[in-house]
Structures are given as structure tokens and as C-alpha cells.
Amino acid sequence: MLSGKIILVGVTGGIAAYKTPFLVRQLTEAKAAVRVVMTEAAHRFVTPLVLETLSGNPVSSELFPKEFASTHHIELARWPDLIVVAPATADFIGRVANGLAPDLLCNVLLATRTEVLLAPAMNTEMWRHSQVQENCVRLEKLGYQFVGPEEGKLATASEGEGMGRMSEPETIVKKIEAIFADRELLKGKRIVVSGGRTEEAIDPVRFLSNRSSGKMGAALAKTAARMGAKVTFVHGRMSIEPPGNTDNIPASTAEEMQKKLAEVYPKCDAVIMAAAVSDFRPEKVSQEKIKREGKLTLNLLPNPDILAGLGRAKKKQKLVGFALETGNGLANGKKKLEEKNLDILVFNRADEPDAGFDVDTNRVTLYFPSGKKEEVPLASKEEVARVILRKLAGIL
Ligand SMILES: Cc1cc2nc3c(=O)[nH]c(=O)nc-3n(C[C@H](O)[C@H](O)[C@H](O)COP(=O)(O)O)c2cc1C
């Protein structure tokens, strides 16, 4: 599975660096081409000679080498299919999260377009430190992938057991294999994702909308593109930037979103409708700002049910819809699937603090036409996106 893959392994100065040679060995045994870049601190824990011997390639460390190497950080950044940093220290994670580049490895990460997998390793207190956690959340949002850390024996007897141990080389290799497998999953497919919230004008300064941040839609669009799909992301207003690896089409109202989706629908293989579309719009939009003069009654008209419309117009396309509920939740997932002619229904709740609107995590239930139901436990929106897209890839 890794045969012919080109992998750059970064090593930083943590005690778990003693395991990196095992990782390099497993990668070369799987016939991947490997080059290693070490930080200065990493040299304290493992020798370049070991890594050079096991990778079969010279190890790079110096940003300003004695022998002329020109822009070798750019050359290294362009070389691999994947960069894996194992172990990734707290210091290194902090530098990368802040876009700093005082050493060769950080420069490589800033200059690369390749996916980066980090395997953090550190003492439990360091791992739990809010700054380290914030840095990791930031990196995850920027598209960095993580493996571990894990719970278990730490470096010294005095530290005992706890969270922060680097994942074993076997686990890191499995994650690398999963990343490469994912890249092929949607190759050649055209996927349309909708995300964000629509806004329905009341007057020139006011509108009706909702609390959707667009994070779930953006995670789906970005991840689908990483899986090899050509992605069109039709999005309403969002609290974050739309992804950089997708074709982005803005749409502000429900009717506009319906129109934009209709334009790209005939040529696509699947639509994932994750946008939070306003169910209603004001019957009349005032051309002037409405003055505060006593009571105001707004008459609302129902907006088109975009998803149901796509379901009716469906030919070869697969359709994934989201349902968001409060209170008792979804009464009948199968019925909703049939009504809207969906292939997958993703149900999430709007009244949980760690799932649904505006947060970085989600907890969903997937419904399928066969009547099967699958719970996806609390995970980052990126991870939930991967689960949904793997299911979609299975039926495309
Ligand atoms: C014995 C020893 C072990 C260390 N182990 C770790 C570790 O496991 N994780 C970590 O984040 N930092 C660890 N450090 C601290 C890092 O080496 C230090 O933050 C260094 O600046 C990291 O540099 P680098 O990120 O450029 O490799 C350790 C330091 C010492 C002295």
C-alpha cells in the first residue's frame, strides 16, 4: 500500500524520538521512499547516522548548511506525498501553529502544499496545557492531521502513566496508510457541498438567519477534495474562511442557493446538503430601514425545500442531507430519507454544547435507506466528515 509513496519524516526533540528509527524502518520496508529532517534538539535523542542508514538517504537539519544547498527547504517541501512529524514536541507544535520558521523543518512545513501528519509526544501536564491544546485545535483547523498522543507509560518512572505518549510506529503507519487510502476514495468524482447559513433580508440592514458557522460544510468540502474529488462548495455566510482546495460559489439567500445548486446539479455525482437554509423569508423586503414605531409584524413565506427539490430531480446523483433538531430529536429517520429521496441522512442536534452549531466537534447519527442506523460518537468535524464521505464513497 505504501510502495512508491514519498514520505518526509520530521523528527523533533522529544524522548519518543528513540522510536522514530522503527517508524522509518517500517516505512522503507513497505517500499516507501523516505527522507528525514531533524531539529537541532532531535540530535540529542537520536543520531542522524541511524536515520540516514535506515532511510537510505542523507538527513537534513541545517537551515543554513556549510555546504551550499540553496533553497533546499523549498526542494524538501516539494518532494514528498506526505510529511510525518514524529515525535512532535510542544515547542514545535507552538512554532507551527503560529507560522514561525526559525529552523529547517518549520520552513519545510510553511513551504509545502503536502498534507502533514503530526504525532505529538510529551508529558501529561504539557499536553494538557491550554496553550498546547489551543495550538492543536488551530492546527487541526488549518488542515493538519494528528495521530495520538495516547494514554500509557511516560518517559520516566516518576511520571508514571498518563496521556501524552507518542503513538506506536505501527499505529502511525496505519494512519499513514489510511491517509493514502482516503486520497483515492473519491478520485474523479464531482461532489457538490453546501454549507454556511442563508440570510433573508427584512430591510437594507436587517435579515433573518441562524447560528450555523459553516464549519461542518467546510470540513466536508475540504475533506472530499483531499479524497480526490472535484468539489464545488456552494456556501452562504460563514464564520470561517471557505476552504482553499475547492471551487467556492457564494449564495446569500435560500432562493439564490437553490439556483446555484441547480446549475451544478446535473453534472455532479453527489450533493451533500450541509447548509443551514432559512425555512422562511419575509413576504416583503422594505427598501428603507424600518423605523422603530410601535409594534412590528413580519409576515413570513416558506422558503423552497432545496433538498426535497434535488431529491425529486435526482437521476444518477447520490444525495446526503442533514437534519438538525432540538428536543426529542428525529422521530423517523427512515421516513425523512424516503420523503426527500436521500441516500444518507445525517442527524445532529442543535441543543448540545459540544455538537451541532458553531463548535468544532459534532456527534451524529447516520440513517440509510435499508433502515440501518449508525452512531458516530463525538469527534472533530473533520473526522465526522471523513466518516460520512467514506460512506458516500461506498455507494458512488
Ligand atoms: C530529557 C528531555 C526530554 C524531553 N522530552 C520532550 C518531550 O517528550 N516532548 C516535548 O514536547 N518536549 C520535550 N523536551 C523539551 C524539548 O526538547 C524542547 O522544548 C526543545 O526546545 C524542542 O525543540 P524542537 O521542537 O526544535 O525539537 C525534552 C527535554 C529534555 C531535556
pLDDT digits (tens, 9 = 90+) for 82-136: 999 999 999 999 999 999 999 999 999 999 989 999 999 999 999 999 999 999 9
pLDDT at residue 285 above 80? yes
Angstrom CA distances, 311 to 336, 337, 346, 353, stand at: 11, 10, 15, 31
- Among 15, 36, 40, 156, name the best residue to mutate to test ligand 1's pocket (greatest count of ligand atoms within 8 A of Cβ): 15
369: three-class secondary structure by DSSP: coil
Using a 6 Å cutoff on CB, does residue 89 contact ligand 1? yes
Ligand 1 in reach of 92 Cβ (< 6 A): yes
- Ligand 1 centre and the CA of 126: distance in Å? 11
Report which protein residue has its CA nearest ligand 1's atom 19.
Answer: 91
Query: How confident is residue 67, by pLDDT bands cut at 50, 70 and 90?
Result: confident
Please name the residue whose Cα sits nearest to atom 11 of ligand 1: 89
Instruction: Give the pLDDT band of residue 159 (cuts 50, 70, 90).
Output: confident
**Comma-separated ranges of CATH 3.40.50.10300 domains in the chain:** 186-395
pLDDT of residue 329: 66
**201, 162 in Cβ contact below 8 A?**
no
Query: What pLDDT, in 10s, does the model give residues 241-278?
Result: 898 889 999 999 999 999 999 999 999 999 999 999 99
- Dump the DSSP string for 170-214: HHHHHHHHHHHHHHHHTTT-EEEEEESB--EESSSS-EE-----S
pLDDT at 361: 79
The architecture in CATH of the region 186-395 reads 3-Layer(aba) Sandwich (3.40)
Instruction: Tell me the pLDDT band of 65, cut-offs 50, 70 and 90.
Output: confident
Answer yes or no: is the C-beta of 23 below 6 A from any ligand 1 atom: no
- Domain 6-184, what fold? Rossmann fold (3.40.50)
Report whether residue 261 contacts ligand 1, using a CB cutoff of 6 Å: no
Q: What angle do CA 99, 44, 26 make, to 5 degrees?
A: 80
State the distance between the two ends of the chain, measured CA to CA, in whole angstroms: 22
In the chain, CATH 3.40.50.1950 covers 6-184
Q: Give the amino acid at 166.
A: M
41 CB under 6 A from ligand 1? yes
C-alpha cell at 12: 523533533
Q: Judge whether 210 counts as a catalytic residue.
A: yes
